[in-house]
Every structure is written in C-alpha cells, then in structure tokens.
Amino acid sequence: MDNKLLVVLTENNWLFTGLTTLLPEMTCLKMGYDTQYMPQEVEHACSITVVVDSLIFFRGEWLTFNTLRHCREDITVVWLTREHTGRIFPATSQGDRILTQKQDISSLELTISGKTERPVTRKKAECVRPVRLTQTERRLLPFFTAGVSLSVLSERLGCAVKTLYHHRLSIVAKAGFRHPIFMEYVYKCNPGLSGVFSPETTSWKEQWYEEWQEE
C-alpha cells in the first residue's frame, strides 16, 4: 500500500475528529494508550505519523506507544503538548517534533503531514532535545519530584529554603511546567520514564532518600 497512516494516541474523540478533518489525505486511526494489539493498517502502511496527546503523561500508560516503536522503527512522532503537561519526553524521543494544541492550523497541518520544506514549518516546529540542568539542579531534581518538602531539604542539606525554592523554580521553568505539583505528578505517574530531562540517579541520592523515608 502507498497510503500515509496517521495514528492518533489519545482518549479525546474531539481531538481525533479535528485531526482527521484537518488531514483528509491521510488514513487516520485512533488508538488508546494501552492497546494490546496492532491493527493491520500499522503493518501495511508505507509511512506512519504518530501524534501523541501529551495527556499520556498523566495516565502513565505506554503500551501502545512502545509497541508502535517496536513494530515500526520508521515512524514519525509528533508530540501534541498542553500547558500543564510540561516538556519532558522519553529518551527514545529525542529529535521528535513538538507542537502545542494551540498551534496555528497551517503549521499544525504542515508538520503532521510531513511537508517540512515550507518555511513556516521550520519556524514553528520544535524538536525534543535534552534539557540543560546545572549540577545542583540535577542533584535536587529527585527530591523535588518525590515531593520532599523544602523545609526538610533545607534541614538535611543545610541550604536556605529560599535558595531551594529558586532552584526548584528554575527546574520547573526548564521542564515547561506551570507549577511544581504538575512536574511531581508526571514523575509519579511515570516511575519508569527514562526522559531526556531525567538525570542519572546516583547512589548517595538513593541512600539519602531511603534514610529520609525510614524516619
């Protein structure tokens, strides 16, 4: 077959309907986040674009996404972000396209359809790339995402609460979240997420956190 397949990973019927209307030249297929089987269209399509509703990070269900990656290594992934879902992604998604749901219609259409040669798309479309954290931010991130209070961190690390607050504010801004609670919630929903935003976990961090949990 020579058709272009658009797979939309979402639980939002309105989003799927909108994309099918916007891209009538593509065969469109809606899939949930935890689909246990792959439709025949996935196997036979000549090219596949997967649009991922970023609410997947609030669900923490990656079965469909990972299966698609495994079955078709040639898929093109476009992340459709929302204001409250942040800008962290799986490590395997480095280089994938990023669009917001408030993107203007023409840029949305051009990027998803793969017509990247037009200037408007090069200006509007972004790609997943590693987020640069300072060494201090990398050390503090596991505590912030685990919900450790600033007062407890201040006492344990001998660092002023105000300083910790500013570090957390910087991380939240770089991660694209509106509030620390959203970032904490996303990490709790995706405990196995190996994101390009996630730093390495060193032994002293794990040991400190285990000691704090035991108290």
Give the whole-angstrom CA distance, residue 60 versus residue 124: 28
Predicted confidence (pLDDT) per residue in 131-161, tens digit: 888 889 988 998 999 889 999 999 999 999 9
Same domain, residue pair 98 and 74: yes
Q: Based on the fold, state whether residues 111 and 9 are members of the same structural domain.
A: yes
What are the helix (H) ranges across the chain?
13-22, 40-44, 56-59, 63-71, 105-113, 119-124, 135-145, 150-157, 161-175, 180-189, 203-214
Instruction: Kindly state whether residues 118 and 12 are assigned to the same domain.
Output: yes
pLDDT tops 80 at residue 186: yes
Final residue in a domain of this structure, among 60, 92, 127: 127
Instruction: Determine the structural domain holding residue 185 and report its residue range.
Output: 135-214
Overall average pLDDT of the 34-45 stretch: 89
- Cβ atoms of 68 and 95 closer than 8 Å: no
Strand partners, 48: 5
Compute the distance between CA of residue 39 and CA of residue 117 in angstroms, rounded to an integer.
31
pLDDT at 113: 80
pLDDT at 60: 93
pLDDT beyond 70 at 27: yes
Give pTM, 2 decimals. 0.81
The answer on 151 and 210 residing in a single domain is yes
Residue with tokens 């609460």: 161
170 and 102 within one domain = no
Q: Do 90 and 14 share a structural domain?
A: yes
47-53 and 4-9 beta bridge pairing: parallel
**Which of the two residues, 2 and 142, has the higher pLDDT score?**
142
Strands 47-53 and 27-31: unpaired
User: Which residue among 108, 127, 146 closes a domain?
Assistant: 127
- Mean pLDDT of the chain, nearest integer: 83
Task: Give the 3-state secondary structure of residue 103.
Answer: coil
Would you say residue 9 has pLDDT above 50? yes
pLDDT at residue 12 greater than cutoff 80 = yes
Cβ neighbors of 207 (< 8 A, separation 6 or more) are none
Number of domains in the chain: 2
* pLDDT score recorded for residue 100: 87
pLDDT band (50, 70, 90) for residue 167: very high
Residue 3 has a pLDDT of: 79
